[in-house]
Amino acid sequence: TCSFSRSPKGFPKLKNDTFLRAARGEETEHTPVWCMRQAGRYLPEFRETRAAQDFFATCRSPKLCCELTLQPLRRFPLDAAIIFSDILVVPQALGMEVVMVPGKGPTFTEPLKEVEDLLKLRQKVDVTAELGYVFQAITLTRHSLEGRVPLIGFSGAPWTLMSYMIEGGGSSTMAKAKSWLYRHPKASHQLLRLLADVITDYLVGQVAAGAQALQLFESHAGHLGPEQFEDFALPYIRDIAQAVKSKLKEEALPLVPMIIFAKDAHYALRDLAHAGYEVVGLDWTIRPQEARAQTGKDVTLQGNLDPCALYAPKEKIGELVKKMLEAFGTQRYIANLGHGLYPDMNPEHVGAFVEAVHTHSRHINKH
């Protein structure tokens, strides 16, 4: 159960810092591993906890977020926890209404249609007032973890959030959002800048609340080509890393490692490696050796097993993991999937993945 103490200080001492050491480029005995969407619908206990509640009501309950964050750690020896939340809490903080529609996913009741709609957004967001429930969930979870593993906080990146706010939900083309980039570049930058500022404060607030690492999800990077990515995504990704770090220094908060995950942005790996993040996350469509060659020696890589590999028999998962570890090398590396877990996955196969990373990486390190 999750017990809550008001003061965010006095956190339990961290017992397993393998993930943080790998993120900072220090040597590790085994390769750390965690899974995107590890707190999720593939666990029966997750479905049970979530059953009675609206999705975003769950996000606003620190107690439930804590419980859902801890569930996978009770089953698997993962090396990190990631707070249960959603990237769309940021557009909500800007005053937009988002509902979770069964079978359809997150849906904005009134997406941005015209440039004038930007005026409806809150121009100054007090993140503690609007997103304090996430900070409470982080503090509560950090205590409840009892130092077992580090806790990761996260946010969506500006372009990904902008695309949702204009599309009003998921889309296979992002044509409405991309049309803004071509037709309204000035308004697009205005919106992206507003988002970047809120995200910066939000991430700093997460560290103040107890997050020990941060991940920025640019999940819709693949909808942009290299030029648009360079104009509308990369500058804000860079700014966020820089602004978060300088604010953490100013507020005498810990300088936590930051991870950038830009899905399908192969063309930008070199730039992302120099964007101010300690870790670059990779999706499953890139060869590990190629990613290493492009990102150089100074960043840690995270990824990138195809999530669908977890449908394979357990022995096969072990083989794929071994191959992945040999390709990336066991150091300066955090094992993960190339995207999130799917709801119909077998928890035992997730366990096999985690175990294979630990076993094979220890073996490779010994020999």
**Which of 42, 164, 236, 333 is the catalytic position?**
164
Tokens of 354: 């985690």
**Which of 37, 60, 148, 238 is the catalytic position?**
37
For residues 334 and 33, the answer to whether their CB atoms sit within 8 Å is yes
Round to whole Å and give the CA distance between 111 and 122.
Answer: 15
Round to whole Å and give the CA distance between 273 and 191.
Answer: 25
Strand extents, DSSP E, the chain = 81-82, 98-101, 105-108, 151-156, 213-218, 258-262, 279-281, 300-305, 333-337
Closest CA to 263 of 318, 205, 216, 194: 216
For residues 260 and 283, the answer to whether their CB atoms sit within 8 Å is no
Q: Does 182 qualify as catalytic in the annotation?
A: no
Round to whole Å and give the CA distance between 359 and 28.
Answer: 13
Residues 6 or more apart in contact with residue 83 via CB below 8 angstroms: 65, 69, 134, 137, 138, 141, 151, 152, 153, 154, 206, 211
Round to whole Å and give the CA distance between 158 and 139.
Answer: 25
Q: Does 332 qualify as catalytic in the annotation?
A: no
**Which of 86, 117, 231, 306 is the catalytic position?**
86
**Which of 41, 75, 193, 362 is the catalytic position?**
41
Q: Does 164 qualify as catalytic in the annotation?
A: yes
Q: Does 239 qualify as catalytic in the annotation?
A: no
Round to whole Å and give the CA distance between 49 and 70.
Answer: 12
**Which of 17, 50, 236, 271 is the catalytic position?**
50
Residues 6 or more apart in contact with residue 200 via CB below 8 angstroms: 239, 240, 243, 244, 247
Q: Does 41 qualify as catalytic in the annotation?
A: yes
Round to whole Å and give the CA distance between 16 and 280.
Answer: 22
Residues identified as active-site: 37, 41, 50, 86, 164
